[in-house]
Chains A and B, each alone.
Chain A
Amino acid sequence: AQSVTQLGSHVSVSEGALVLLRCNYSSSVPPYLFWYVQYPNQGLQLLLKYTTGATLVKGINGFEAEFKKSETSFHLTKPSAHMSDAAEYFCAVSINDYKLSFGAGTTVTVRA
């Protein structure tokens, strides 16, 4: 079985500051890892994913994440927050090709 833990249910950052969202996973086999973003009353949009290969992956809207097997982590970062980054972010893991297991989510607020 696989699972995801997102550290911090709420993160508040100033506009222009670094955004760091933490995700740790548990998996008995090499996982696929994903970050999704959800805006109010909308579905989930894929930000980025790691499957194999390069451990630093770049996604949309300036986000990137690094897969660290030794730390079982897949933290999401963005160097400079924008007001439009305010949303809920979900980390997810998959060990097969059909079922995603999501973390509880982290809500990001951006202060002007």
Chain B
Amino acid sequence: DTGVSQDPRHKITKRGQNVTFRCDPISEHNRLYWYRQTLGQGPEFLTYFQNEAQLEKSRLLSDRFSAERPKGSFSTLEIQRTEQGDSAMYLCASSPRQGADADTQYFGPGTRLTVL
């Protein structure tokens, strides 16, 4: 069990550029979540996958955001035409579908995005 990994850890981009983040969940965790955390705030839910199916999207996830989880393994979060308001830490988490830890989300280290 190597934990949830995210890549890159830091991303600096210019306004209007597209960015893509990757999340690798704990192996055999079939649930994967994305959250956004802005400075001084707690994480806010963005979206959730069970296997490859995206089951819920927050209203925070505008049309410029898209998330995928092909084959139910890793996931990508893409932001198109970035805006300064997109600057935040993007956190990924995973959990198993069943068992004693089914209600527990394990978080990765996050990707910190800065939009200039």
Name B residues whose Cβ lies closer than 8 Å to a Cβ of A: 4, 31, 33, 35, 40-45, 48, 50, 55-56, 91, 93, 102-110, 112
Asked whether A102 and B102 contact (CB < 8 A) given A43-B4, A43-B109, A43-B110, the answer is no
Number of interface residues of A (CB under 8 A): 25
Note all chain A residues with C-beta closer than 8 A to B102. 97
Assembly CA distance A43 to B108 (angstroms): 5
Assembly CA distance A5 to B23 (angstroms): 29
Chain A residue at smallest Cβ distance from B49: A98
Please choose the segment from A13-21, A45-53, A64-72, A79-87 that sits at the chain B interface, where 4 or more of its residues have CB less than 8 A away: A45-53
Name A residues whose Cβ lies closer than 8 Å to a Cβ of B: 4, 9, 32, 34, 36, 41-46, 49, 51, 90, 92, 94, 97-105
Residue from A46, A98, A104 within 8 A of B106 (CB atoms): A46
Residue from B41, B45, B106, B107 within 8 A of A101 (CB atoms): B45
Asked whether A97 and B103 contact (CB < 8 A) given A43-B4, A90-B43, A92-B42, the answer is yes
Could you jot down 15 A-B contacts, CB within 8 Å? A41-B109, A41-B112, A43-B4, A43-B109, A44-B93, A46-B106, A49-B104, A51-B103, A99-B48, A99-B56, A100-B33, A100-B43, A100-B105, A102-B43, A105-B40
